[in-house]
Amino acid sequence: MPTYDFNDFKRACGKKSNVFVWKHAKENAAEFFNLKTEDRLLDFIHNDGLENLMFQDTETLKLEIPDKGSIIDAYEFRTGNLLGYIGFYRSKITGNWIIESFKLSRKMIFTIADTFNSALKLKNAGDKNG
């Protein structure tokens, strides 16, 4: 069961001033989803870019930061042909929303790796036969 109401988080993304995005989440959003700025990422979330949103789990933030112990809600989503993962929480200190993670889902990474390995096996088999 999610800790937070996703619609509250989504509405906050529309206001932008109440949402902070961790550096690695920004970098992954730019690299894998072509969301090059924090504003584009927040607009993407606010405007229903996270299709087929499915709650995954909650976990406790373990890093040694002031918000240690905060609960993170994690979701998988689709956008186009990509399967993504977002993790966010509400800061106990500031009350702001924090996007801790925005990346390809592990399922997507495994699918890409399997496809690559299959293609490599086919190539190697062709090299041996040709």
pLDDT at position 33 is 96
* Type of residue at 90: R
Side by side, the strands of the sheet bearing 82-90 are 19-21, 97-104, 82-90, 71-79, 51-60
Please report which confidence band the pLDDT of residue 106 belongs to, taking 50, 70 and 90 as the band edges.
confident
CA distances (Å), origin 77, targets 42, 62, 124: 15, 24, 35
CA dihedral 33, 34, 37, 41 (to 10 degrees): -30
Q: Residue 57 pairs with which residues in a beta bridge? A: 74
CA dihedral 72, 90, 1, 63 (to 10 degrees): 20
- Report d(CA 120, CA 107) in Å as an integer: 20
pLDDT at position 108 is 63
- pLDDT tens by residue, 6-24: 999 999 999 999 999 999 9
Tell me the average pLDDT across 58-78.
91
Please report which confidence band the pLDDT of residue 2 belongs to, taking 50, 70 and 90 as the band edges.
very high
* Domain assignments of the chain as residue spans, ordered by start: 6-105
Tell me the average pLDDT across 66-71.
90
Q: What percent of the chain has pLDDT over 70?
A: 82
- pLDDT tens by residue, 77-87: 999 889 999 99
